[in-house]
Amino acid sequence: MYTVLILAKGGKKLLPLLKKYQSNEDIEDIYVVCDKHSALETVNLCDAFDISKVQAVVYNSKNREESTLIGLYTIEEQRQDDPLIMIKEAERPPLSEKVISVPLRLNKLLTIYE
């Protein structure tokens, strides 16, 4: 199962991606990193559309690298295990189900041979 870290500007444009990942059985939970102005709107969208996999919405930084680190630190603080993390920029096209599931299957195979 994946933990997804979404780097986003937030807001309503994020909703289709959240719905897609909410319905994907390979995705366990979602963390969103977005700007301060969109954080509350993102939380409200999750409540309104029953997006229950979102575990945290945190503020981004001035660049992508720092924002990614903020999200990874948040996941590390909240999770007791070492999840397989998929990092997704919300502004890019959504990944297909096949693209999402292939690395997960490969990870399972590699675990078998360890």
Q: Residues 10-20: what's their mean pLDDT?
A: 84
Residue in 92, 28, 91, 37 with CA at minimum distance from that of residue 60: 37
Q: Is 5 within 8 Å of 86 (Cβ atoms)?
A: yes
Q: How confident is the model at residue 113 (pLDDT cuts 50, 70, 90)?
A: low
**pLDDT of 114 higher than 80:** no
Q: How confident is the model at residue 101 (pLDDT cuts 50, 70, 90)?
A: confident
- Given 3.50.50.60, 3.90.550.10, 1.25.40.10, 3.40.1160.10, which CATH number is that of 2-112? 3.90.550.10
Specify the DSSP element, H or E, that contains 33. Answer: strand 27-34
Query: Domain map of the chain by residue range?
Result: 2-112
The model carries a pTM of 0.86
Specify the DSSP element, H or E, that contains 19. Answer: helix 15-22
pLDDT score, position 30: 95
**Which distant-in-sequence residues (6+ apart) come within 8 Å of 29 by Cβ?**
3, 4, 53, 54, 55, 83
Q: Is 71 within 8 Å of 58 (Cβ atoms)?
A: yes
pLDDT score, position 50: 95
